[in-house]
């Protein structure tokens, strides 16, 4: 091993990656860390390729407990995550905006075709083996949820982490109902039945339980913009199929949709906080959140 260079990125929330040189050749590597993971992550790049995805296939995959490392050939195309961020911080939209939007529309049409061609009914046993459930049900129903939330207290915005006032135990938070207010109006969680946070979590555990027969497709599972290159300024080139397999088409798109559109605050919290106005009030069993956060033009598109 001649050299190793780590490449920290905002999009890498539970992984790290970089380049290394060996015998005069350069390789790219990426690792996933899932300490409370209950499933191995499988890199089904060949399955995606056979289904029609334009995918970077790994050269080598290593598994050890809750950690996985994958070695890839080096790809020089830009990552769509970086292109979208460049558009957001630029004063003009330019050609990049149009290229990304055109590529997204083209890929959505191709993805729909792949879904139609691979659509089948899967038994509960088959469905339960899908790696994608690690992203949803196993995190929600397993040790990860307990370790992150049980016995914790949650400070309200503006109070600071060291303040003992205006904090609420998570177990108490489960009994509240939520209303989110923006300048465009209010969104009530579960508007008709008005469930509490705890009821929503229990409902999700039932709905997302993988041991049930369902309609499935062959999907990437985690195709947010950080896992997609833009090849020749027009084609999606998928990368890092850690959760690829046969699973629900809804699960296939919901995580990328959230990350690509709504999760800017998670990747760039300091930048978002500069212009963010946020208040939280408690009225009886209701929590009212008011904010001025706005999606940028490219996120809306």
Q: In the 3-class helix/strand/coil scheme, how is 89-132 assigned residue by residue?
A: HCCCCHHHHHHHHHHHHHHHHHHHHHHHHHCEEECHHHHHCCHH
No. of helices (H) and no. of strands (E), the chain: 12, 16
For the entire predicted model, the pTM comes to 0.85
- C-beta separation of 255 from 91 below 8 A: no
79, 115, 31: which is closest to 260 by C-alpha?
Answer: 79
CB burial class (10 A; 0-12, 13-18, 19+) of residue 133? buried
Compute the C-alpha angle 45/50/54, nearest 5°.
Answer: 65
- C-beta separation of 127 from 213 below 8 A: yes
Bridge partners of residue 218, in order along the sequence: 246
Give the torsion sign (CA, 56, 57, 60, 66). positive
- C-beta separation of 49 from 42 below 8 A: no
Pairing of strands 214-219, 120-122: antiparallel
Residues in the chain: 301
Q: What is the pLDDT of residues 276-295, one digit of tens each?
A: 998 888 888 899 999 999 99
Q: 32: which DSSP letter? A: E
Which of the two residues, 219 and 33, has the higher pLDDT score? Answer: 219
Give the torsion sign (CA, 204, 210, 215, 220). positive
**C-alpha separations of 138 from 34, 62, 146, 200 in Å:** 11, 22, 11, 16
Confidence at 163, pLDDT banded by 50, 70, 90: very low
Which of the two residues, 62 and 83, has the higher pLDDT score? Answer: 83
Q: Is the pLDDT of residue 255 over 70?
A: yes
- C-beta separation of 54 from 45 below 8 A: no
Average pLDDT of 164-190?
Answer: 83
What is the predicted pLDDT for the residue at 7?
Answer: 82
Bridge partners of residue 64, in order along the sequence: 67
d(CA 53, CA 231): 13
- C-beta separation of 278 from 144 below 8 A: no
Q: What is the pLDDT of residues 34-48, one digit of tens each?
A: 655 544 555 688 999
Q: 149: which DSSP letter? A: H
What is the predicted pLDDT for the residue at 13?
Answer: 63
Confidence at 298, pLDDT banded by 50, 70, 90: very high
Q: What is the pLDDT of residues 136-150, one digit of tens each?
A: 999 899 888 999 999
Which of the two residues, 215 and 164, has the higher pLDDT score? Answer: 215
Query: Which residue is it, tokens 């539970």?
Result: 14
Neighbours of 22 (CB within 10 A): 12
Q: CA 158 from chain center: how many Å?
A: 27
């Amino acid at each position: 091993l001649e050299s190793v260079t780590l490449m920290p990125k905002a999009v890498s929330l539970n992984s790290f990656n970089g380049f290394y040189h060996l015998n005069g050749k350069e390789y790219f590597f990426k690792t996933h860390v899932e300490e409370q993971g209950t499933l191995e992550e499988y890199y089904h790049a060949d399955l995606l390729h056979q289904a029609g995805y334009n995918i970077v296939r790994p050269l080598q995959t290593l598994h050890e407990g809750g950690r996985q490392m994958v070695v890839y050939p080096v790809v020089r195309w830009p990552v769509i995550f970086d292109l979208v961020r460049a558009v957001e911080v630029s004063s003009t939209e330019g050609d990049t905006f149009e290229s990304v939007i055109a590529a997204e529309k083209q890929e959505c049409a191709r993805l729909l075709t792949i879904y139609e061609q691979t659509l089948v009914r899967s038994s509960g046993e088959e469905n339960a083996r899908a790696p994608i459930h690690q992203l949803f049900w196993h995190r929600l129903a397993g040790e990860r949820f307990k370790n992150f939330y049980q016995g914790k207290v949650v400070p309200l915005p503006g109070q600071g982490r060291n303040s003992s006032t205006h904090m609420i135990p998570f177990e108490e938070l489960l009994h509240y109902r939520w209303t989110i207010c923006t300048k465009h109006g209010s969104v009530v969680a579960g508007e008709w039945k008005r469930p509490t946070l705890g009821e929503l979590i229990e409902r999700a555990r039932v709905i997302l339980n993988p041991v049930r027969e369902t309609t499935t497709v062959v999907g990437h599972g985690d195709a947010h913009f950080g896992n997609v290159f833009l090849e020749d300024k027009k084609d999606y080139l998928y990368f890092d199929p850690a959760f690829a397999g046969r699973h629900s088409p809804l699960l296939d798109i919901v995580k990328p949709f959230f990350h690509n559109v709504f999760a800017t605050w998670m990747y760039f919290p300091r930048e978002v906080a500069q212009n963010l106005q946020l208040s939280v009030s408690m009225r009886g069993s209701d929590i009212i959140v008011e904010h001025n956060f706005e999606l940028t033009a490219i996120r809306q598109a």
